[in-house]
């Protein structure tokens, strides 16, 4: 038996152990992606092989927590892909203004930068007071950072430029305090968002949602899990609600594609058909 076959078996046993011990199910992640992260963590912890990590994660919860942080993708920034936020501002928010009450769900929010971006956007379009924001992720450490709303001040220039390109109507500095080399989001913005744990692999719907953002998450799932998550989004949205995916993601070839109308093909914004 060649080494790659042994590694495949080890990865399967590792993922089974994680599911049985902690309830996290990574078996439906894209195989190349999950293998890459497992190997990275193996090297980081200086394990001799994948199977050497199994006893550690079974008996040591802190070891597992470190592994989950490696599995979780937290690449994000405030107003990332500003043209997408500009499209939301110009094409979607005017339509949401017809609702007396708006519920927004940002799935896979990582450390919260884009959730705060959306809250700022809604505030500037006079929708902040009637909008409830829910931002979710399965990574508790990332959620804790998101709740704190404290980011590296060195990124302020990039964040400001993104905000301006997203059609910002004020000075971005109005939304944060600068202190000790940190950029701290003002409490008036933090209190608008509820950050909570939600796992798209195992958890269920958020009902009566008007806008869902889930950007650059589906690309890490296999086809079966992608379909499951899209169904969760479909069931969570009100009729006429909006779904925004990442630039490299699409509903094309999904069995739910006919249930959505394409609003912005470039920025992957879709509307649930009535």
Q: Which domain holds residue 136?
A: 82-148+186-272
Residues 61 and 195 in one domain: no
Domain boundary pick from 15, 49, 71 = 71
Residues 266 and 212 in one domain: yes
How far is residue 247 from each of residues 77, 81, 159, measured CA to CA in Å? 15, 9, 19
pLDDT at 74 over 80: no
Contact 123, 172 (CB under 8 A): no
Ranges of beta strands (E only) in the chain are: 102-107, 131-137, 150-152, 176-179, 182-185, 193-197, 209-214, 237-245, 260-264, 269-272
Q: Is residue 130 part of a domain?
A: yes
Instruction: Name the band, by pLDDT with cuts 50, 70 and 90, for residue 112.
Output: very high
Q: Is residue 127 part of a domain?
A: yes
Residues 12 and 101 in one domain: no
* Mean pLDDT score across all residues of the chain: 92
Domain boundary pick from 71, 105, 131 = 71
Q: How many helices (H) and strands (E) does the chain have?
A: 11, 10
% of the chain at pLDDT higher than 70: 98
Question: Residue 11's pLDDT is what?
Answer: 92
pLDDT at 185 over 80: yes
pTM: 0.87
Instruction: Name the band, by pLDDT with cuts 50, 70 and 90, for residue 262.
Output: very high
Residues 56 and 190 in one domain: no
Residues 111 and 134 in one domain: yes
Residues 105 and 32 in one domain: no
Bridge partners (DSSP) listed for residue 245 = 214
Residues 127 and 201 in one domain: yes
How far is residue 93 from each of residues 90, 188, 191, 209, 211, measured CA to CA in Å? 7, 21, 21, 14, 10
Residue 77's φ and ψ, nearest 5 degrees, are -160, 165
pLDDT tens for residues 6-17? Answer: 889 999 999 999
Q: Report the side by side order of strands in the sheet with 209-214.
A: 193-197, 131-137, 102-107, 209-214, 237-245, 269-272, 260-264
Total domains present in the chain: 2
């Amino acid at each position: 038996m060649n080494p790659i076959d042994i590694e495949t078996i080890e990865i399967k046993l590792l993922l089974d152990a994680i599911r049985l011990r902690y309830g996290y199910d990574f078996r439906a992640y894209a195989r190349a992606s999950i293998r890459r992260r497992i190997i990275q963590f193996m090297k980081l912890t200086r394990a001799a092989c994948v199977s050497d990590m199994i006893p550690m994660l079974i008996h040591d919860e802190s070891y597992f927590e470190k592994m989950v942080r490696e599995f979780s993708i937290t690449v994000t920034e405030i107003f990332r892909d500003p043209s997408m936020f500009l499209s939301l501002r110009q094409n979607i928010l005017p339509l949401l203004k017809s609702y007396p009450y708006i519920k927004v769900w940002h799935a896979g929010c990582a450390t919260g930068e884009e959730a705060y971006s959306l809250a700022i956007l809604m505030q500037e379009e006079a929708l902040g007071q009637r909008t409830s924001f829910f931002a979710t992720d399965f990574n508790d450490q990332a959620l804790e950072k998101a709740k704190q709303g404290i980011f590296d001040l060195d990124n302020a220039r990039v964040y400001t430029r993104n905000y301006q390109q997203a059609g910002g109507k004020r000075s971005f500095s109005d939304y944060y305090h600068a202190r000790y080399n940190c950029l701290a989001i003002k409490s008036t913005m933090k209190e608008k968002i509820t950050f909570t744990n939600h796992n798209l692999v195992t958890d269920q719907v958020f009902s009566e949602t008007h806008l869902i953002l889930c950007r650059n998450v589906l690309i890490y799932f296999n086809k079966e899990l992608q379909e499951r998550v899209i169904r969760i989004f479909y069931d969570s949205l009100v009729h006429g609600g909006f779904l925004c995916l990442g630039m490299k993601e699409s509903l094309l070839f999904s069995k739910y594609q006919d249930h959505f109308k394409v609003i912005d093909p470039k920025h992957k914004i879709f509307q649930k058909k009535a």
